Structure 1
Amino acid sequence: MKFQPSMLVPDFVRTFEPYIPSQPDHVLKQRFGVDHLYRLNNNENPLGPPPAAASILRSMDPMMVSRYPSGDASDLRTKLAHHLDMGPDQIVPGNGATEIIQFVIKAFCESGDNIVTADKTFAVYEWVAEFSGIESRLTPLRDNRFDPKALLSFIDRRTKIVFVCNPNNPTGTYWTLQELDDFMQHVDGRCIVVLDEAYCEFVEEPDFPDGSLLVEKYPNLLVFRTFSKMYALAGLRIGYLIGHPATVYDVCRTRIVYSTNVIAQQAALAALDDKEHITRTRNMVRESRNYLEKEFERLGLPCISGQGNYIVARMPFNDQLAYRMLMKQGMMVRTMTGFRFPNHIRITLHSKPVMQRFINALEHVLDQWSASTRNPV
């Protein structure tokens, strides 16, 4: 019998389409006929890494890459523990938050189990569960916020994990400390609750909770954080998990050691000390958010603007068309149909001059669309 790889693929995997990442910038510029390209699609920090981390990258001894890194990122865990006032055994670094999501699902879920999250949030929770043969139960947002009552109503005896993105990507809404504490009490230890704080460093509101302060009170709480967003180390792929020592120990049963490379570990170590970098980034985000909110109102485009370094705008036409038209102006945005927000685009907040160029490009696109509807071919 002739071998066919698909014969070995589980039925639930056959239903998935492979994720196709965007092409490299030089290919996209050639394809769309532009000499510049602003990446406003992935919520990257345009200021780049903190100066101390950048210095580490410039001065890295090439011989370091000939040796395996610390298998459990020992120095980074120790420093994070000092910053968070907890033990190193409460922290697990990983190759970006995506790998850590895999660690947690593998540690706690088996066939027949389910995870619960929202329908309009970071899609990787849903994807990793489904890729693993675990059911994803998706609750609707309420006023663009995670709805605690809906989440609780979806939990049953086979629910192992609830994922809450705080602040939520893409809406920027968040639970307060009181809301989070109430939710944890109602869960009452029935399942793991993952609090994804990938964008926590961007939040300046006083009622925003620090999830790390609750892991002793709630051993079933795990907190995700990343160096990709605020600290601008997205290309190095490094994030980490925080939790109660006993819960973290169970996660460590399924983690992959040596998954965070030596350069990522050293850059993350340096980045942690730079408070001025956070202030500069917050100032840029605040200025650009205020500017875009006013411009979207002027243009008659409804927007969703909360916390984080992004803003979502509703277009008067298909988001894929908006993407292609903006790419021809050198502006790369994120289409939102995949987030279940059809006809919306998400824009990463950049410096104000770039935001001004984006608005100019957007006005040109809107004029083109308006002209095409008045004079259809």
Structure 2
Amino acid sequence: MNLDTLVPDYVRCFQAYVPSRPDHLLMREYGAPLLYRLNNNENPLGPPPAASREIASFPPELAAVYPSGDSFELREALGNRLGISPERILVGNGSCEVISSVIKAFCQPGDNIVTADKTFAVYEWVAEFSGIQAHLVPLRDHAFDPQGMLDRIDNRTKIIFVCNPNNPTGSYWTGQLLTDFLERVGSERIVVVDEAYREFVEDEEYPDGVSLMERFPNLVVFRTFSKMYALAGLRTGYLVGSDRVVEVVRRTSVVYSVNVQAQRAALAALSDDGGHIAATRALVRESRAYLRTACDDLGLETVIGEGNYLMIRVPINDMLMYRRLMKRGMMVRSMTGFRYPGWIRVTLKEMEVMTRFAQALGAEIAAIRSRGRTS
């Protein structure tokens, strides 16, 4: 069989994402006695208490029953929380699925999307392996550049993706900046605002995208239960849009893709999130301040915004630093793949882990500088 005759050029040229291997294999490979995953922005507190109880008491017999095909009860609860009709909400198997659904709904070969060059890569990936061109706009001062994005829009642009706050830099647009941008884009294109890390932002100037939809019916907002709600392993994300937009996107979404346990856990998390969000924010504030000081003491440049992560510029190749830190049991995100060569991204976790990480990083920096002095 000659696969080359079957595979489209845009798929043949695309490089598959390679996930990390299981912890026990990584520990054996790097000779690490333990492993702290600081690479995926997971919440170390775990899910809210009600969600944890729901997961622990999951009835095995429900594994034999198909879930609600459209996450009916979860959409009802989200609608009540947001003050909108549940028909304006589409739940998917993580944010990646709703990204794919939106692109499939509005784009065809020859169309393009516009987004930043250093942001959540799945917007670009899904577009490119679907035969849709991605117009990438450089960040300005580590933030989305509204004028730069407007300049890249052409008559084949269908969707504009804004990650707010941005992963990996933590920068965000204020309500005024987002409103101005939406006004200038107009109503002929879909604007997606990805608010995956919104619950970590405490600034009153941070906008609520859903509240802007009455004024801008072409606006779509993504949210997730993976980050603040710590349900990453259950893969539950959702989008909110106008009735007409969601009705179109629903045609390209896969029903039954969100499993029973994920729906039940997300529903429970919504009912019990107040104390959980407050505790997570407090942990992030403390860890962020500690690592900021630690990096300052080491003379390392940082990019620190909102979200449960920060970026550190290291004096050697970021993949080399990744391997060196892995030997000390610290798994970070190397940032060359985000087009930030020479940087690492670190998830903010409990202080015990942050202290261990700072010690490991300090030891590596001292070793690097020592060799530089003696070479």
Structure 2, gaps ≥5 residues long: none
Shift of 1:367: 2.0
| Correspondence for 1:289 | 288
Match of 1:40 among 38, 41, 52: 38
Structure 2 CA distance, aligned partners of 1:371 and 1:143? 32
1:375, distance to aligned residue in structure 2 (A) = 4.6
The worse-fitting range, judged by mean Cα deviation, of 263-272 and 214-223 is 214-223
**CA-based RMSD:** 0.8
Once the two structures are TM-superposed, the CA of residue 190 in structure 1 deviates from its matched residue by 2.0
Q: Secondary structure at the match of 1:28?
A: helix
TM-score, with length taken from structure 1: 0.98
- C-alpha deviation, 1:310, in angstroms: 0.2
Aligned to 1:317: 316
What is the rounded CA distance, in whole Å, between the counterparts of 1:85 and 1:348 in structure 2? Answer: 32
Report 1:285-364 matches (<5 A). 285-364=284-363
Give 1:127's match in structure 2, choosing from 114, 125, 128. 125
Residue 149 of structure 1 corresponds to which residue in structure 2? Answer: 147
More displaced stretch, 303-312 vs 30-39: 30-39
2-structure distance, mates of 1:190, 1:296: 45
Query: 175, 187, 211: which is aligned to 2:209?
Result: 211
Corresponding letter in the other structure for 1:163: F
Quote the residue 1:173 is aligned against. 171
Contact 2:142 2:169 in 1 (8 A): yes
Residue 339 of structure 1 aligns with an amino acid whose one-letter code is F
Contact persistence 2:39–2:333 (CA under 8 A): yes
Give 1:35 deviation, angstroms: 1.9
**Per-residue displacement from partner, 1:54-85 (whole Å, max 9, x unpaired)?**
10011010001100000000000000000000
In 2, the alpha carbon distance for the partners of 1:34 and 1:320 equals: 17
Are 1:243 and 2:212 matched, yes or no? no
For residues 116-155 of structure 1, the C-alpha deviation after alignment (integer angstroms, 9 at most, x for no partner) is: 0000100110000001000000011111111111111111
SS across alignment from 1:225 = strand
Corresponding residue for residue 369 of structure 1: 368
Give 2:17's match in structure 1, choosing from 11, 16, 19: 19
What is the deviation of 1:173? 0.5
Q: 2:60 aligns with which of 59, 62, 65?
A: 62
TM-score (norm 2): 0.99
> Aligned equivalents of 2:365 and 2:150: distance in 1?
42
Q: Quote the Cα distance in structure 2 between the aligned partners of 1:344 and 1:317.
A: 9
DSSP 3-state at the match of 2:340: coil
8 Å CA contact retained: 2:51, 2:265: yes
**1:213-232 correspondence runs (5 A):** 213-232=211-230
| Partners of 2:118 and 2:139 within 8 A in 1 | yes
Q: Could you list the structure 1 runs, at least 4 aligned residues long, displaced by more than 4 angstroms after superposition.
A: none
Match of 1:86 in 2: 84
Tell me the distance in 2 between the aligned counterparts of 1:25 and 1:278: 28
**Distance across 2 between alignment mates of 1:373 and 1:261:** 53
Give the secondary structure class of the aligned counterpart of 2:158.
Answer: strand
Mapped partners of 2:9, 2:253: distance in 1: 26
Distance (Å, rounded) in 2 between the aligned partners of 1:209 and 1:82: 19
Counterpart of 1:307 in 2: which secondary structure? coil
Query: How far, CA to CA, are the matches of 2:193 and 2:16 in structure 1?
Result: 27
Q: Distance in 2 between matches of 1:216 and 1:106?
A: 24
Deviation sequence 1:78-112 (CA, Å, 0-9, x none):
00000000000010000000010000000000011
Aligned 8 A contact 2:14 2:128 in 1: no
Q: What displacement does 1:12 show? A: 1.4
Name the CA distance, whole Å, in 2 between partners of 1:128 and 1:174.
23
Alignment-mate amino acid for residue 185 of structure 2: V
SS of the counterpart of 2:233?
helix
Equivalent residue, structure 1, for 2:136: 138
Q: Encode CA deviations 1:330-353: one digit per residue, 9 max, x unaligned.
A: 000000011111000000000111
Q: Indicate the SS of the match to 1:194.
A: strand
Contact 2:236 2:258 survives alignment (8 Å): yes
Aligned residue for 2:332, secondary structure, equals: strand
CA contact (8 A) 2:333 2:346 kept: yes
- The CA deviation at 1:180 is 0.7
Write the letter of the residue equivalent to 1:93: V
Which residue matches 2:2? 4
Residue in 2 that maps onto 1:234: 232
- Tell me what 1:197 maps to: 195
What amino acid sits opposite 1:126 in the alignment?
A: E
Which stretches in structure 1 are left out of the alignment for 5+ residues? none
* Partner Cα distance (1:340, 1:306) in 2: 18
The equivalences for 1:247-258 within 5 A come to: 247-258=245-256
Matched residue type, 2:124 = E
1:26-45, Cα deviation, whole Å (9 max, x unpaired) = 11111111121111000000
1:374 is displaced (CA, Å) by: 4.0
Specify the code of the residue in structure 2 equivalent to 1:27.
L
